[in-house]
Amino acid sequence: MNPLYLLVIFAGALLTACASHQNAPEQVEQAPETSFNTSTGITFSPDGWPQTLKADLYLPEGNQPLPTVLLVHGGGWERRSREDMTWIAEHLAGRGFAVMNIDYRFAPEHIFPAQLYDLQMAMHWLHEEADTYQLDRDAFTAFGFSSGAHLVSLMALVAESRHPLNQPYGGKHARPVAVVAGGLPSDLRAFGSGKLIRQFLGGEQEDIPGVYRAASPITHITAGAPPFFLFHGAQDMLVPFSQAKEFRARLTDQGVESELYLMHLRGHVTSFLTAGNAVEKATGFLVRHTRTTRETVRAGN
């Protein structure tokens, strides 16, 4: 066997082992593997939307209403595509989740909150099409990495609030019952006015401090926030680990359940490329919370 290939295998195994899981459950929820079907290039944006937006929909086989994940890619709010998240979509679908893997509008052509509105519209589409695709409206969750983590977190935290960001496309339907956020930039104020932040928000922080604050998920945490699973590279130089650490501390202060999967020896990109074990743990987190939510709803009925 090629020595370089052996080295790659060894390095991958080493990195997988170098992780710590804070507030991990004693028993990890497991979902049986299942087959699924995929529909690509579905338009979810309504007529007249500033840009036609597409998504891939993954549907596990079966007759029961499906727990569903809204999946959102990273790329600094300016690039990349839903194809980056295909492997995560396939993993989740293989564990029984319907998955809507979406694209969204990019900066600088479209500045904030356009991207947030796109996610809120995607959640609206899921609610509208739930009966068509046998989706469980009581078990919608969200999963994002990097800028995608920022967007799903912000959407979840402003939902049900009176904040202007929750209008006109948000509302209770835009609140997932649980969130997975990898490489999360939780407080955009900490990045100054770097190029990506500046073109995303439309100006310098000193000129629009209110926008920087409003666009930072950490400023919207309340006791009503959904549970969060965070994973982050300990050596992340692009989005420092302190962003996840402080975000989780704020969740804890508000009594919100959270888990933190810290990936040692990894930076921002490598924490995504070697995130297999983190995604597996996150899947268990989503299984547990969607199951609990469904049982609670049934008990209430």
pLDDT at 185: 98
At 27, is the pLDDT very low, low, confident or very high (cuts 50, 70, 90)?
Answer: confident
pLDDT at 32: 81
pLDDT at 215: 98
Residue with tokens 């190029």: 195
Cβ-based neighbours of 182, under 8 Å, separated by 6 or more: 144, 145, 146, 149, 230, 231, 232, 271, 272, 275, 278
**Number of compact structural domains in the chain:** 1
* pLDDT above 90: residue 247: yes
In 3-state terms the chain splits into helix, strand, coil percentages (rounded to 5) of 45, 20, 40
pLDDT at 39: 98
At 17, is the pLDDT very low, low, confident or very high (cuts 50, 70, 90)?
Answer: low
**What average pLDDT is seen over the chain?**
93
* pLDDT above 50: residue 110: yes
Q: Residues of the chain with pLDDT > 70: what percent? A: 92
Contact predicate 43/162, CB 8 Å: no
In a domain, 97, yes or no: yes
In a domain, 145, yes or no: yes
* pLDDT above 50: residue 5: no
In which element (H, E) is residue 245 found? helix 241-253
Please give the average per-residue pLDDT across 49-68, as a whole number: 95
Q: Which domain holds residue 72?
A: 30-300
pLDDT at 293: 79
Lowest mean pLDDT among 203-212, 241-250, 287-296: 287-296
In a domain, 230, yes or no: yes
Q: What is the pLDDT of residues 270-282, one digit of tens each?
A: 999 999 999 999 9
In a domain, 99, yes or no: yes
Higher-confidence residue: 5 or 250? 250
In a domain, 4, yes or no: no
Please give the average per-residue pLDDT across 158-182, as a whole number: 95
Cβ-based neighbours of 133, under 8 Å, separated by 6 or more: 57, 59, 66, 98
State pTM to two decimals: 0.93
In a domain, 24, yes or no: no
Return the CATH number at 110: 3.40.50.1820
* pLDDT above 60: residue 251: yes
* pLDDT above 90: residue 197: yes
Please give the average per-residue pLDDT across 62-90, as a whole number: 96
* pLDDT above 90: residue 62: no
In a domain, 20, yes or no: no
pLDDT at 30: 74
* pLDDT above 70: residue 7: no
Residue (of 202, 129, 214) closest to 167 by Cα position: 214
* pLDDT above 80: residue 63: no
In which element (H, E) is residue 246 found? helix 241-253
Q: What is the pLDDT of residues 33-56, one digit of tens each?
A: 999 999 999 999 999 999 999 999
Sheet holding 135-145, edge to edge: 19-22, 258-263, 228-233, 179-182, 135-145, 66-72, 98-102, 54-60, 36-43
Cβ-based neighbours of 76, under 8 Å, separated by 6 or more: 146, 147, 196, 200
pLDDT at 84: 98
In a domain, 43, yes or no: yes
At 292, is the pLDDT very low, low, confident or very high (cuts 50, 70, 90)?
Answer: confident
Q: Tokens in use for 42?
A: 């579905």
How far apart are the C-alpha atoms of 244 and 259, rounded to whole Å? 11
